[in-house]
Structure 1
């Protein structure tokens, strides 16, 4: 059981390399996602790194799109799953969004839908395939915006 979970927004090259390494391990190696797809839109994104007792454990990002604010690339290394790392990450990313963020959405892999539902996201539309994995588009419900 981890004793200290920390999430921080990162922009320096050393921390970004940790973020990209985590995502590479989870998505490219673990789920066979094409590397170029996994790394798309990096420059315009706000990146987050989670550490557990000082060790890199997870990553994610958000970016502004033509549709609104998209949360993306939530990745937790396998040895840290089931200890609240993903929840801490979602909470931190949501807290970082601009106060006037109107439309907030993400594409959740089907097994992770319940995680995002805990934070007020609701499925929007049918299940679809993206990068070889099944997903649902999820939108943050109005009653959860503050």
Structure 2
């Protein structure tokens, strides 16, 4: 039986707590990111919750910066990886950006570069470390 993958924009405090719980499990517990680096810009960000069936499985957000629109905090719980949640999150976040969003970028962990390339993102600049994890800046070109 195939469970349906869905992603929705969320503002409800209960949904946001699920978003933050997914991020805590992936970034803080699994990847050992410092908690103080994980929670910033929450009030100015647009948040998304991904579910498989009715089970919370993934999270992401975007926010407007002085450079453009930054996609951030893509997280998929381990048991749901490889099942389309990452693709669904990226597509939904991109679909939700304002029409005037011209410059769209993100900082991609090395393991996620292939996913973002499928959506027209290209690496820009040198590899760098963020929260103890190697990344590349990627910019949407198509």
Q: TM-score range by the shorter chain?
A: over 0.9
TM-score normalized with structure 2 length: 0.98
The Cα shift of 1:3 comes to 2.3
Partners of 2:2 and 2:46 in 1: CA distance: 25
Name the stretch that deviates more: 32-41 or 70-79. Answer: 32-41
Question: Cα deviations across residues 94-137 of structure 1 (Å, max 9, x unaligned)?
Answer: 00000110100000001110000000000000100000000000
Q: Which residue of 2 aligns with 1:50?
A: 50
Q: Which residue of 2 aligns with 1:103?
A: 103
* 2:113 equivalent to 1:116: no
Name segments (4+ residues, structure 1) moved above 2 Å.
none
Q: Which residue of 1 aligns with 2:4?
A: 4
Q: Which residue of 1 aligns with 2:28?
A: 28
Q: Which residue of 2 aligns with 1:139?
A: 139
Question: Cα deviations across residues 34-86 of structure 1 (Å, max 9, x unaligned)?
Answer: 11111111010000000001100000000000000000000000000000000
Instruction: Say whether the 8 Å CA contact 1:45–1:63 is kept in structure 2.
Output: yes
Q: Which residue of 1 aligns with 2:75?
A: 75
* 2:16 equivalent to 1:16: yes
Q: How many residues align?
A: 142
TM-score normalized with structure 1 length: 0.96
Partners of 1:131 and 1:2 in 2: CA distance: 35
Q: Secondary structure of 1:129's partner?
A: strand
